[in-house]
Structure 1
C-alpha cells in the first residue's frame, strides 16, 4: 500500500531533523543557510504543513543531499 502524503512529509521531516542534529546545527542555523524561515523548517521537521518541493530541495541541498524521485 502506498504511503500517504502525511507519512511521506513526516518521514522527510524526521530525516532532515536527524541530519541537522548530526551536523550539530540548530533549526535557526539550518534555516538561515537554506534561505528559509525557521518556522518553515520547524513545520517540515514536525511533518506538518505542505512544504513545496523547492523548499524541501533547498534544505536537502544545504545538508549535501538531493531529492530523488523513484518509480
Structure 2
C-alpha cells in the first residue's frame, strides 16, 4: 500500500465515523496540517504519527519487514 492509498483509506474511515480533520488531529494529538498531508498522500509521516492516527480511528497497522540477503546489499 502506498502513501496515497493509505491517505485515502484514513480519509474514508474518518468520514465514516463523522469526524472532521480538526477533531481527528486533536484526538490523535497531531497537527491539523499533518492530518491533511496524510490524507492527501503527501509527505512522509513518522511511524509514531501514523500509528496515533490509525489508533484514533480504531485501525490496526501491520508492518512487514522485507528480508534482505547479503547479495542485495
Residue 9 of structure 2 is aligned to residue 15 of structure 1: yes
How far apart in 1 are the matches of 2:64 and 2:12? 22
User: Offset at 1:70?
Assistant: 3.6
Larger Cα-atom Rg:
2
The Cα RMSD (Å) is: 1.3
1:43 counterpart = 2:34: no
Q: Which runs of 5+ in 2 are unaligned?
A: 66-73
Q: How many residues align?
A: 65
Q: Which 4+ residue blocks in structure 1 deviate beyond 3 angstroms? A: none
Q: TM-score, normalised by structure 2?
A: 0.83
Deviation at 1:44, TM superposition (A): 0.2
Unpaired segments of 5 or more residues in structure 1? 1-6
| Paired residue secondary structure (1:29) | helix
TM-score by length of 1: 0.86
